[in-house]
Structure formats: C-alpha cells, structure tokens
Amino acid sequence: MPKLEIHQFPCLSDNFGVLIRDAEAGVVASIDAPDAKAVAAALATQGWRLTHILTTHHHGDHTGGNLALKGETRCTIFGPRAEAAKVPGIDTALGDGDAFKLGGHEVRVLDTPGHTAGHISYWIPSANVAFVGDTLFAIGCGRVIEGNHEMMWHSLQKLMGLPKETAIYCGHEYTQANARFALTIEPENEALQKRAKAVDQMRATGKATLPTTIGLELETNPFLRPDSPAIQKRLGMAGKPAWQIFGEIRERKNRS
Ligand code: ZN
Ligand code: FE
C-alpha cells in the first residue's frame, strides 16, 4: 500500500490548510488553498513541491491562494464541476462518482452540497481519510448557505456512511464553540461531555482538535444524531423526519 503523508496547519483566522504527499510518486496536493503565503510556507517547512490543489468549494477562504500558487508551481487544480466558474484557475472539474489517481492512491469524489450548491468532498479509501471542507466539522457542520436542510442532511448521510475509522479533515477549527452548543442539544451524552473536556484541554495548549473520525462524530455530533431519543425529546420532535430534526438543530446553532 503506498504511503500518504499528511501535514495540517492553521491559517487565516480559523482555517486549516492540509498538504498530502505520496513521496514515491512525487505528488503533493494542497486541500483547498486558503492563503497562498501560508501554503507556500508550509511547503517550504516540509521541503515539499506542490503538484495539485484539491478544491472543495468556491468560498474565498478555500480558493484565495489558487492563482498565486498555480503561478509559482504550475500545479493542477481540481474542483467541483457545479461551481467550476467560481474556482480560480480550475483545470479539472469533478462531480459525484468521479475518481482519479493521485500518485498511488485513488481519490473518490462525493457531492456534498448544502454549504455551497456544488461543494464536493474527497475520499481516499486506501489511506482511510476524507477531506470534507465546510460540510462536516468536529461536533458541528457547515452553515447551509446555498442549499437547504434536506440537501445538507443528505450530504452528511453520505459522510456518515464512510467507514467509522475514516480520518476526517475539515476546513475550520470551530470545535470548542461547537462542543458548547452541542451540550445544549444533548447534555446527557456522556461521550460528548468527555470530548468537550478533552477539546478544552487541547485548545488551552494550542493544539488542533482535527482530524476527527466518522466514528467519533457519530457518537458526539448532534447534527448527525437526529435519531437520538434524547435529542428528539428535547426538541419536541419525536418521530419527525431526520432531516427536519437536523434542520431544527442547524437553525438553533445559527441563532446561538
Ligand atoms: Zn465555506
Ligand atoms: Fe470556510
């Protein structure tokens, strides 16, 4: 099995940059490009040469570095077909079910719309890792800006179906605030209580709380838990469709 090295670093106010490398193949990809200078600095630190950018969605805090990095490195930019016109420098447009080789690894593309209308996620089964942009966060999920609740719930369900041990890299460090909100939705969830404490400790020492895993999110992320009887009872929505319960939690988070 070819190795995949992963280097995550904070950038902008609360974004993550992520670089992945298949050393044997000489391939280095940046997951999104929040900030050209920060990505270039991370590349220099690692001693890596950029060959690809994998764009999850068109927002400026995910594509702002595309053109400068492409100018410096002549890298190839992949991105979502449904919003290709809004992704600077895009070379290859991708959509659900597409797969491509990145060095020795197959990358599978999942449509995960809702935060934006064309948002995609990248899953690399051979490395047990997925890059989900602003769709799923640790103990949270992205704001539903261009889609609707039903659409976002459908996207989250796709990610929930990945193997539990899949490492999940997200676009932002929002975990501590997410945990505080989650405890108002499911305060009796002991796994969540425990995780919230661990997150406080990590943040107090300046550590990143990402990556997470699908398994951990299924246990502690209220947005993925509309089936929880405790949540249904608290929201007064017992027996309602999962996407509506998800939508109510999302609305409450927007107001929090
Ligand atoms: Zn975004
Ligand atoms: Fe973002």
Structural domains of the chain ordered from first start: 5-169 (3.60.15.10), 175-255 (no CATH)
Q: How far is the CA of 212 from the centre of ligand 2 (A)?
A: 17
pLDDT value, residue 194: 98
pTM score, two decimals? Answer: 0.98
Instruction: Give the residue from 139, 205, 143, 206 showing the smallest Cα distance to 176.
Output: 139
Residues of the chain with pLDDT under 70: 1
Is 98 an annotated catalytic residue? no
Q: Which pLDDT value is given to residue 28? A: 98
What tens digit of pLDDT does each residue of 62-109 get?
Answer: 999 999 999 999 999 999 999 999 999 999 999 999 999 999 999 999
Whether 115 is catalytic: yes
pLDDT for residue 248: 98
Instruction: Identify the active-site residue in 35, 52, 58, 62.
Output: 62
Strand 76-80 to 92-94 pairing: parallel
Report residue 186 CA to chain centroid gap.
23
Q: Reply yes or no on whether 14 is catalytic.
A: no
Which is catalytic among the residues 58, 59, 105, 149? 59
Residue 2: predicted pLDDT: 78
Which residue is associated with the tokens 């974004």?
Answer: 15
Q: 52 catalytic, yes or no?
A: no
